[in-house]
Amino acid sequence: MPGTNLTQNEAAERRHAIVGTPDYRVSLDVTRGPDTFASVTTIDFDAIAGASTFLDLTAEQVESITLNGEALPVERVYADSRITLSDLTAHNTVEVKALGRYSKTGEGLQRSVDPADGNVYLYTQFAVPDARRVYAVFDQPDIKATFTFDLKAPASWIALSNTPVVASEDVPGALTEPGTLGDGPAEPVRHWRFKTTPVMSSYLTALTIGPYAEWHTDYENPDGRTIALGLYCRQTLADALAKDTDYLFVITKAGMTFYAEQWGVPYPYEKYDQALVPEYNSGAMENIGLVIMHDQYAFTSKVAGNVAERRVLNVLHELAHMWFGDYVTMKWWNDLWLNESFATFMEYLSCVERTEWKDAWATFCSCEKYGALDIDQRPTTHPVVAPINDLNDTYVNFDSITYAKGAAVLKQMVYYVGREAFFRGIHEYLTDRAYGNATLNDLLDALEKASGRPMRVWAERWLEHPGMNTIAASVTATGDSNDSRDSGDSGAHGKIAELTLTQTAPEQYPVLRPHRLAVGFYNLDEATGKVRRTERFELDVDGETTTVAEAAGRPLPDVILINDDDLTYTKVRLDPRSASFAADNLYRFADPLARAVLWQTFWSMTRDGDFPAERFIDLSLKALATEHQPSTFTYSMREMQITAQHYVPLERRAAVLAHISEELWKLIDAAEPGSDQQFQLVTAYLNKYATDDAFEAHARGLLDGSVTFEGLAIDNGMRWTILRALASRGFLTEADIDRELASNDTSGNREQALAAKCSIPDPDVKRRYWDLMLHDESLSHTQLWEMAPAFNTNVGRADLYEPYADAYFEQAEWIWKNRSFHVADVLLRFLYPEHAPAETLVALGDAWLDAHPAGKVDDALRRLVIDAVDGSRRAAKVEASNR
């Protein structure tokens, strides 16, 4: 991806040269046709007289560049996505006229055609810095500016930007060229002009243009202003979204009120639109006043409970960014975590306290921390405040450490300084730096002032070092059958003599952290059959050893749960008897968060080779029968899948997978009709296992109606789940899939059909779709996102994937150099042939890394390869521990 990178040093030099706040006027014309659009950028800016700097621009063609009234020779000053500006004066005006190219994979200005009705939809995605793909710009977060957009587009469309439209009129005599924007006739052009934005970063500017369906309401802001709210989607999803618009507006308003209350800063902008768009290459983006998100959240079929909850969390996450990230923005991408961690923490807090999803902290434990704990144990782990030398570093740091570990640290910080002081400090941080940029030190200053607690050492240990700690419990007791709980004996309870917590750190990251955590005592209630918390102690843990003084002399409970309520970020190791009881009785625990903490504890032990893989599968199957927290259900099922496919020894793997498949079918039959549990079990049976002898009969029966479950509807989404499962087992051909698609040709169904074809276990089919994904640039990011994982779904077919072990490493560098980052990221993550023999992948991966040392290839590419190989290395090690 040459030409679009930017180093931190270059950004600092440019910020030094550019003085004050630039002002942009950007004019776009999207009536030219299906490939390109016209862009005219005029920038007024002050600079240090005599300085030189550069603008960012990635264009199909640059027609002219004028600086302070003088035409510059394009061929001399424009190269490698940069425009050189020399001999600047104190006050400067530059104008750049260019042609931009529409994106197929989401970067810059995306153009999508809905196959169901032929409508064309445009929208922007500028994060990290891809505003340069639409207009000439100083594309870095600390050169904040004001922006005035205007654009020409077909008159029947709507046009949205960060600010409201101030004027629009049809352009006399201007017509679009027939057939260039869609299949319809030519029509008049409308010219829209938008209000000038407040001071903001370029990556937060946005446009959404097209024949979108729309809904509107108002929100009465606490400061007395009325904020216009809008929701938008393409026409073919209008009926689906219309059923949920009132609900989504309620969630949005609840979030606005909650954030204003917590921070003492009302919503700062003039409007708040949320546009659900096709083929989006991310979940959502927090553009000021115009959030753009994937239109998968316009539900056309039944979805699992965790997906419904995730939509609410996404809405609240992007809304939190309006304050944290947009109103106050990081100076450079090394403080990206300030944006993402804070928005993640607040999405969960607001979800728990202001929506019906009261168990969302269990989702945080099972979902968010699941990803962070995985990444934090890889060789490529990094601090929450990661060194970001250039934009490529930024791309790969959009990960679970930046989001989830950072959010877990913030949750811990709240308990460290106290909630009232924490939010008082946030209020000062936001108000003191409104519309500006800030750093971690600015945040720490505000929290120190508000709480009176020193933050620097605490923050240094938590934020500037990678890796995680492990806290293990050790108990001695009197009156027990062996006078020691550590024996693992489950005899009569005695009293606790001493409860000790021991903190350790990995050898390569030997940092012990201060933890504010809770210890919970849990006991079986014989009357109800439920395990409930009977006592709880909250304490500080710092250093290697901490004695829980309050526990001494108390009756020995069935389970001593370390990190009760999931207050801190750590691996937990229970004392042996607690672990034994919890493994046998996980399904009995009444509290969803306690179950999530325990389930993740057993998963961590399984992943480390410290807990038998098949026992983890058995306890999971038993607990799934009674688990109703949707995200805990989803992610525990995923962990069970990883365990069965990679950690169970190869000679027992097929039998274990078949056993799980058979047990899931029994659970489906026993599940409450119409429940989320029933829906998730059916989906998991089809998507993740599909290995029992009766699978084909079950799947075809569901498809033709000869097999039914009360409350389970075979809607479009479930139908494609069944079809993809049949295809992955070799029971459907490409022609079968094409016939199914022809009966209902939508963009979503096209994605499903391509994924189904990629999963067919035929070497010739695999070869064709491997080549297609690598080389066909007409495929959208969303199509590749479905196709690449589907390519790797043929469990137990190492023969299919062994050829791609060599191919992956042979093609990795080519993919990185020739595809955009977002596409390369998908291909390199999901085309890694994980079902080839782990030993083969490790040997090939190590050889590739030796031949591509740091400095020879981009660090971001090396990190992707290192992570992939590390998964195989871990699989081989854990499999060996289970023999």
* 327 in Cβ contact with 430 (< 8 Å): yes
Q: How many CB atoms lie within 10 A of CB 605?
A: 20
Q: Is the peptide bond before 128 cis (omega within 30 degrees of 0)?
A: yes
Measured CA to CA, the distance from residue 733 to residue 638 in angstroms comes to 28
Measured CA to CA, the distance from residue 830 to residue 809 in angstroms comes to 13
Which residues have CB under 8 Å from 818's CB, separation 6+?
A: none
Measured CA to CA, the distance from residue 625 to residue 869 in angstroms comes to 35
Q: What share of the chain is helix, strand, coil (3-state, %, to 5)?
A: 45, 25, 30
CA 523 to chain centroid: 37
Tokens of 505: 């750190």
The residue annotated as part of the active site, out of 279, 318, 639, 879, is 318
Q: Which helix (H) or strand (E) holds 417?
A: helix 406-417
The DSSP symbol for 672 reads P
203 Rama class: left (phi>0) / alpha (psi -120 to 50) / beta:
alpha
* 624 in Cβ contact with 358 (< 8 Å): no
> How distant, in Å, are the alpha carbons of 27, 60, 470, 496, 854 from that of 579?
64, 61, 15, 17, 43
Looking only at the bridges linking them, the beta strands covering 158-161 and 207-210 are antiparallel
Q: Across-strand partners of 70? A: 67
Measured CA to CA, the distance from residue 839 to residue 415 in angstroms comes to 45
Looking only at the bridges linking them, the beta strands covering 61-67 and 91-101 are antiparallel
Give me Rg for the CA atoms of the chain.
28
The DSSP symbol for 201 reads -
Measured CA to CA, the distance from residue 289 to residue 207 in angstroms comes to 11
Q: Which helix (H) or strand (E) holds 19?
A: strand 18-29
* 197 in Cβ contact with 148 (< 8 Å): yes
The DSSP symbol for 401 reads I
Q: Is 696 a catalytic residue?
A: no
* 116 in Cβ contact with 183 (< 8 Å): no
Measured CA to CA, the distance from residue 16 to residue 603 in angstroms comes to 50
State the catalytic residues.
Answer: 318
